[in-house]
Structure 1
Amino acid sequence: MSQPPQAPHGRVVVGFDGSAHAERALDRAADEARRRGTALEILAGWPWPKRPLPGYGVQDDEGKLLYSSARRMMDGAVARARSRAPNTTMIPSLTTESAAEALLRCGRTASLTVVGTRGHGGFAGLLLGSVSLRVAAHCTSPVMVVRGDVDRVRDTIILGLASEAETDVKALRFAFDEAARRDAGLRVLHAWRSPAPRSDQARPSQLGWDDVEGLRKAAEAVPQYAVASLAQEYADVRASATAVCQSPPQAIVEASREADAIILAVHRRPRHFGLQLGPVTHAALHHAHCPVVLVPTD
């Protein structure tokens, strides 16, 4: 097999295995590459182990058959993507790495990595496949998990903010850029809850009206500050700020019904190898009604 052209920095990368979920991800990735004016790298794993079993090397008839099947699948993927983005450079890539390892490696130099919710070999009852979950948990650049209704255009991008401390410039700028590319409105959403009374308190609640009003004003200031910080730079983006007194995971999932994409900042802890997904991110990845974009922060 000849070497594919060198993948340029800033391209869109999509994982593809021929499944229906992968086809939906491929369609969305083609649209994203077209909007960005970048190349689209279509990444697929070879359908045999890294170390073939005795008698099943890549040079025998079995290996050639599997290789031909993989190439046909890739050719079909390229044709499908080109039908949606005819002027986009396509980079077909077959790899012997595991799907998650390959996507994480390629994603380091990509502007966006796109995955489906699950692919071949997953359990039908799973809401999010193991490959998508691992990529989401360990990505070091923006990753989009394609889920929900991707065909209906709502002309709205939503950025979820957990607190003022979560107002990350990278995620905020990504959200403004995404809204500008789509000529869509940007809604910066912050959900807050009144503090629960302590179990040792004699009275059920010690919060008065003034206390609750102060919390409400502080919560409203979080998205307002975020919008104001880039509003002048992105004067053409219709940006708004919303604060709701609601469980943050519930607020994000409900808001996703009216969005083309939900964008969330995710924080990476150095030398931490477990799943680095908080409750809001976890809820969005499993229950959102639109694609979810995770933007890693320092």
Structure 2
Amino acid sequence: MSGPVIVGVDGSASSLDAVEVAAREAHVRGAVLRIVHAFGHAPGHLPAGPPWSPAGHGLEPMVQGVLAHAEERAHAAAPGIEVTRSVVAGEALEVLEIESRSAALAVVGSRGLGSFAGLLLGSTAVHLAAHGRCPLMVVRGRPDPAGPVLLAVDGSASGEAAVEFAFAEAARREAPLVAMHVYRTWSGRDHEGPGDPLSAVVADADRLREAEQRLLDGTVAAWQEVFPQVVVERRLVPSRISPALIDASREARLLVVGARGRGGFAGLLLGSVSQALLHHAHCPVTVVRGKE
């Protein structure tokens, strides 16, 4: 997808960290970086009269100062990139969702100035992950700069876009890719012998693993042909899905996940696994929505 890399800025430390990451993302894509500041008035509640702006309200110097600082951070992180600024009157949720319609990637910090103390993830990140029109990167944790791109494989049709994105990101970064498929077994209870009701389930454990391996292999194989330069490790893990991926993210530079996997309810825009990773992963997380 062509278009700028957009980053939401509110002056918080988290958003300024996101600016640096977004600048590097713009650099590797050869894209423009667009710094967006939403000025907190809902479009339906603007003052009457001419279009509202911070100018004339004693706030423009403050806003321009935030943007200038953000632009300085961007140029320091990726010298030579083209940077544009945008100040829009509106709620950040709506403004960034609209901006995402023409963007290649949206980048936000995990928590902005409006988040409650102790909250792990801001509402803007959650909203954009569910409703944004381009992939969303949430900057969090301490990524391993030498680590792989970690792809959460779920085998769903909607997750195909995440697979493509992860391969492309690994190619851009000249990084290895770990394609990890975590599957749940029927029961965690010990098998008690031939007369146990779980006998059939235990007997099918190998068959289940083989089926999940085929799912993983089938998901990855076609994209390995498109990106032959990417070194891929296929990792099949029988475990609880979210904890296993969170643990694996400790050694990754980026975690890529679809917005909703096979287990999501129809109409659900953001699945429980995606939400758990956004809140608890140890590296930046990119949520890629399918074409539903």
Band the TM-score falls in, shorter-chain normalisation: 0.7 to 0.9
SS of structure 1 residue aligned to 2:108:
strand
Partner amino acid, structure 1, of 2:150: I
Could you say what the CA RMSD is over the residues aligned between the two structures, in angstroms?
3.0
Gaps of 5+ in 2: 189-194
Higher relative contact order (CA 8 A, sep 6+): 2
CA distance, structure 1, for counterparts of residue 27 and residue 53 of structure 2 = 40
CA distance, structure 1, for counterparts of residue 55 and residue 166 of structure 2 = 47
Q: Write out per-residue CA displacement over residues 122-181 of structure 1, whole angstroms, 9 at most, x where no aligned residue.
A: 11111111111111121221011111014x41330011012x335743221111100001
Residue in 2 that maps onto 1:155: 147
Q: CA deviation at 1:48?
A: 6.1
Task: Tell me how many residue pairs correspond in the alignment.
Answer: 282
SS of structure 1 residue aligned to 2:162:
helix
TM-score, with structure 2 as normaliser: 0.87
- Is 1:41 paired with 2:34? yes
Out of 184, 192, 202, the residue aligned to residue 193 of structure 1 is 184
* Regions of 4+ moved over 6 Å: 51-54, 57-62
Gaps of 5+ in 1: 1-7
Does 11-20 or 219-228 show the bigger shift?
219-228
SS of structure 2 residue aligned to 1:251:
helix
Distance 1:146 1:111, change over 3 A: same
Q: CA deviation at 1:267?
A: 4.2
SS of structure 2 residue aligned to 1:207:
helix
SS of structure 2 residue aligned to 1:194:
coil
CA distance, structure 2, for counterparts of residue 64 and residue 226 of structure 1 = 54
SS of structure 2 residue aligned to 1:104:
helix
Q: CA deviation at 1:205?
A: 1.5
CA distance, structure 2, for counterparts of residue 177 and residue 49 of structure 1 = 37
Partner amino acid, structure 2, of 1:174: F
TM-score, with structure 1 as normaliser: 0.85
CA distance, structure 2, for counterparts of residue 60 and residue 277 of structure 1 = 34
**Equivalent residues of 1:39, 1:91 under 8 A apart:** yes
CA distance, structure 1, for counterparts of residue 86 and residue 54 of structure 2 = 22
**Equivalent residues of 1:58, 1:64 under 8 A apart:** no
State percent identity of aligned pairs. 36
